[in-house]
Structure 1
Amino acid sequence: MRLLVLGGTAWLGRAVAEAARDAGDSVVCLARGESGDAAEGVQLVRGDRRDPASYDLLPGEFDAAVDVSRQPGHVRSAAAALEPRCSHFIFVSTGNVYADPSALRKTVDAPLLEPLAGDVMATMADYGPAKVACEQVVADAFGSSRLLIARSGLIGGPGDWSGRTTYWPSRFAAPSHPDGRVLVPDAPNLMTQVIDVRDLGFWLVDSARQHRAGTVNATGDSIPFEEHIALTREITGHRGSLVRAAPDWLDRHGVRTWSGPTSLPLWLRQPDYSGFNDLDNTTARAHGLVSRPLAETLLDGLRAPPAQPVAGLTDDEERSLLDAWDAQKATRG
């Protein structure tokens, strides 16, 4: 197979390129190269997708292309340039496209957000609408028989630059407090859902080879947040206690949800976001998507954490919060 990866030097795109290369495919990546060089054995064509002429640099035609972009303008120019030159197209979208994050077990038929009106996603607040717009662009260009839209959930494993799936293994492996206590949100019934980047990359390549079409939720299996925490403690050997803080207490102390600095990753508001990580992946499973055990994903991520984590609490922040918790208990006691 002759595969084009739009991007391909960063995390998921690189995993796709490596999976195709390992399968013996001929792989070309179109990227600026600012995230690094392409993987060994993969051809890198340096081009800026803001310039439609970049597609003229690509050699020949392709059996399939994979695009992970969030910018509707980039996807629009790619679709126009590649529709005559590419037999099949895979667009990696996101579960953020769904309009109701509280709904459980969402299928691909669930209502979507309104698409972004312009070609440029300026902030992450527009991520979901931008991806909806991208989906519409590729659907108009390639039709139903030549297009797979894969709505991914949270991606984890080695190289998770966001730190969302590496924070808890790192924290339980090295608690900030001398007595081993770890601060966790009290989040009963909240679901988590992680797909390993290597498994998703392998499946996207296989889907390109098989010319799979349609729209699927390409996610791991959903499990309760408390099970995720319990599994992480088990694999890291954590023996300290858990300090379960209520959402309103965390709010008062400036702790953020989901990701970013001063956050408790994977934590989301309930009930507003109860179904954010509970997408129905039945169709993707039927089409061959296989996930390795979550424990393996978490352990491998722990072995290769981001150099500068962008999610979670620092040691000093967690210790300060635990001190505040202790002070509150002493006052009430």
Structure 2
Amino acid sequence: MKVLVMGGSGFLGRAVVVAALARGHEVTTFNRGRSGGDVPGAEAVRGDREVPADLERLIGGRSWDIVVDTSGYVPRVVGESVRVLSSRASTYAFVSSISAVDGFPGTPAAADSAGWACEPDAGPDDGGYGVLKAGCERAVEQGFDGDVLIVQPGLILGPHEDVARLPWWLTRISRGGPVLAPGDPGAPMQLVDARDVAIFTLDQAERGTSDRFMVTGPAGNATYGEWLGLCKEVTGSDAEFVWVDDQFLVDQGAGTFVELPLWGGPPSAVTGNFWSVPTAKAEAAGLRTRAVAETVRDTWAWLREIPEDRRNYGAKTPHGMAPEKEAAILAAWAARSA
């Protein structure tokens, strides 16, 4: 099969390219060449999807069986790509997000949940990330003349992660010493490897599936304590975890999810919904996910080849807590405990 990946050099897109090449597919990638190196074996076409002339140059003399769009964030921009590619492929697989579900995570997600209200021609200022992703879904569904697959991943980790949640924790824990560990070590998580999302997406696209799926790991496939423990194990660190109460962290001004990656603050309905996305439909369709331990191990194997001073802890939003703030919170926690 011939596969076009919109993106293809960063994180999830790279995983799609690697998986497609491993299956013997002919792969073309279309990107600006800013997010990472090209995967050997794929045809790389440079261009900006916001530039009509670049899109026209992409399709010149080319057609594909499958388009996998891993880089669509603005409905108007996605809609233009769909218009150009509609006659050039049979299946359009759009990688959206669980954040596109209306009300999520304030309300639980369900297999038949509707998306946020967002027009398919909305611009970048017409909503936040999840709202715009919902508009992108509509742009594909309404504009593509063929099979449309919508994949809504949960929290994605793995090698080449450019959000840098796991890379930041691995780096911090590898330095050793007292490590601020947030909240409850028994707090459940729900994680998925980018490579498993890529495999599932290709499986469905190859079948010409027209449907939508929430794609993440099984609920509770790790706890926060287990996850950080795996980071310590694979790095061989002498780190000593100091588990600090959720509310104390809030009172100290610790930031959720970004400053302390994947920590959602005190237990609430919101955090409960975030870590309990339904996956039965995707599993029935063939979703299989690897153990979190494998994801952590392989991410460290990739990350350790990058000098620490060259590691990117978030392509768009830097993740992680500054050492001096961590030390101050640990000192305040020790004083309280004393």
Q: TM-score range by the shorter chain?
A: 0.7 to 0.9
Instruction: Report deviation, 1:233.
Output: 4.7
Per-residue CA distance 1:145-204 (angstroms, 9 max, x = gap):
7111000111111111222123334333333xxxx4322222477442221122222222
Counterpart secondary structure, 1:100: coil
Q: Summarize the alignment of residues 316-327 of structure 1 with structure 2, pairs less than 5 Å apart.
A: 316-327=324-335
AA of the residue aligned to 1:163: A
- Tell me the residue number matched to 1:139: 141
Contact 2:76 2:139 in 1 (8 A): no
Q: Summarize the alignment of residues 252-291 of structure 1 with structure 2, pairs less than 5 Å apart.
A: 252-259=251-258, 263-269=259-265, 270-271=267-268, 272-291=270-289
Match of 1:199 among 196, 205, 226: 196
Equivalent-residue separation in structure 1 for 2:98 and 2:139 (angstroms): 17
Contact 2:10 2:160 in 1 (8 A): no
Contact 2:75 2:122 in 1 (8 A): yes
* TM-score normalised according to structure 1 size: 0.86
CA RMSD of aligned residues (A): 2.5
Equivalent-residue separation in structure 2 for 1:81 and 1:117 (angstroms): 15
Percentage of identical aligned residues: 31
Distance verdict in 2 for CA 1:116–1:168, change over 3 Å: farther
Distance verdict in 2 for CA 1:116–1:172, change over 3 Å: farther
AA of the residue aligned to 2:335: A
Equivalent-residue separation in structure 2 for 1:74 and 1:14 (angstroms): 21
Equivalent-residue separation in structure 1 for 2:311 and 2:257 (angstroms): 19
Equivalent-residue separation in structure 1 for 2:143 and 2:182 (angstroms): 44
Q: Summarize the alignment of residues 114-263 of structure 1 with structure 2, pairs less than 5 Å apart.
A: 114-115=117-118, 119-122=122-125, 126-142=128-144, 146-175=147-176, 180-187=177-184, 190-223=187-220, 224-233=223-232, 235=234, 241-259=240-258, 263=259
AA of the residue aligned to 2:63: E
Contact 2:159 2:299 in 1 (8 A): yes
- Tell me the residue number matched to 1:75: 78
Match of 1:311 among 292, 311, 319: 319
Instruction: Report deviation, 1:241.
Output: 4.8
| Structure 2 spans left out of the alignment, 5+ residues | 304-309
Contact 2:149 2:209 in 1 (8 A): yes
- Tell me the residue number matched to 2:104: 100
| Structure 1 spans left out of the alignment, 5+ residues | none
Per-residue CA distance 1:192-239 (angstroms, 9 max, x = gap):
222112222222222221222211011112214344345545555667
Contact 1:116 1:126 in 2 (8 A): no
Segment of structure 1 superposing worse, 307-316 or 274-283: 307-316
- Tell me the residue number matched to 1:4: 4
Give the 4+ runs in structure 1 shifted more than 6 A.
none
Distance verdict in 2 for CA 1:255–1:88, change over 3 Å: same
Instruction: Report deviation, 1:314.
Output: 3.5
* TM-score normalised according to structure 2 size: 0.85
Equivalent-residue separation in structure 1 for 2:36 and 2:226 (angstroms): 36
- Tell me the residue number matched to 2:306: none
Equivalent-residue separation in structure 1 for 2:218 and 2:237 (angstroms): 24
AA of the residue aligned to 1:45: V
Contact 1:100 1:111 in 2 (8 A): no
Counterpart secondary structure, 1:249: helix
Contact 2:28 2:42 in 1 (8 A): yes
Equivalent-residue separation in structure 2 for 1:113 and 1:194 (angstroms): 23
- Tell me the residue number matched to 1:292: 290
Per-residue CA distance 1:124-144 (angstroms, 9 max, x = gap):
x7000000000111111237x
Contact 2:174 2:239 in 1 (8 A): no
Give aligned pairs, total. 320
